[in-house]
Amino acid sequence: MPVATPKQYAAMLDAAQKGNYAYPAVNITSITTINSALKAFADAKSDGIIQVSTGGGQFASGIDVKDAAFGAIVLAEACHKLAEKYDILVALHTDHCHPDKVDGFLKPLLEASRQRIAEGKGPLFQSHMFDGSVLPLEENMKISKELLAECNSLDIILEIEAGVVGGEEDGHDTSGVPAEKLYTTPEDMVAVHESLNGIGRFLFAATFGNVHGTYKPGAVQLKPTILKEGQAAVEAKYGAESRFDLVFHGGSGSDLNDIRETLGYGVVKMNIDTDTQYAFTRPIVTHICENIEGVLKIEDEVGNKKTYDPRSYLKKAEQNMAARLVQACEDLCSDGNTIFGTV
């Protein structure tokens, strides 16, 4: 089954670390965006990561329900079914879960996986993110330890963050934080290793100037060497086996040279959302503009059903989003590197 088992997901991450490439982790909110992501990974012959945010889950649950965990479960179950048609592996992941959302979002999803495992199935999601970066590091690590132990008991990988990703996403705005908070220090990276090593496998979103959203060239100052320095500090103290599986947040709009540089420093996952959102929406706008008289019923005219049928423009959106995600696979060098059928 193309939704990766825990063993296959671990093998995916190992292959990326060894091969100096990373997987795009794309946010989805609907059946259409799921299909777009699966098409892209299949077209690129790349494994990949499909992820759901709290806002995405809430949207998927319906405007009158607004239950982020319920919506995430619906999307994940759809992914499990739809992925059966493809010869690549995908892992399912949940994006930033801040401390105030743990009980209402992350815990119910862990319980859903616990129930699936009891039924003889694998976990619903293969990894989850806890974002405690708003907390002092000691408190962040205390909660991360507890969640990592629980995730590990379910064969689920936990992603954690130390340092702050700037900008705004799903209503969580960190645009006002001091600039120095955008850069994880080597000391922080050593502290993360010392806190979490031996509990279970985890991904680490160390920050190096990352910002959510897209900005004009030069507005965001990424410093990938921070990752290199942090890895070196940990390895110098604890050996090569302590090397982190790192995550690059805020990948949309990033310079290709910066992206490629991070691959040599242990980045195995890069989040992409803003760019794929734009790629999805742009052809819809074009379709509406080019077919305005058919889409709208103007001056007692009846319009043209073929142009306002949502399928007519959602197909274009799905195709264009997939094309942008194929580009991400190429940028991250994951294209042509699927391990489907080997593990």
- Residues serving a catalytic function are 95
CA dihedral 278, 279, 283, 285 (to 10 degrees): 0
- The DSSP code for 209 is S
- Cα R_g (the chain), whole angstroms: 20
DSSP, residue by residue, 219-275: SS---THHHHHHHHHHHHHH-GGG---EEE---TT--HHHHHHHHTTTEEEEEE-HH
Three-class SS state of 92: strand
* Distance separating alpha carbons of residues 235 and 66, to the nearest angstrom: 44
Task: Mention every residue, 6+ apart, whose C-beta is less than 8 A from residue 12.
Answer: 4, 23, 47, 89, 91, 339
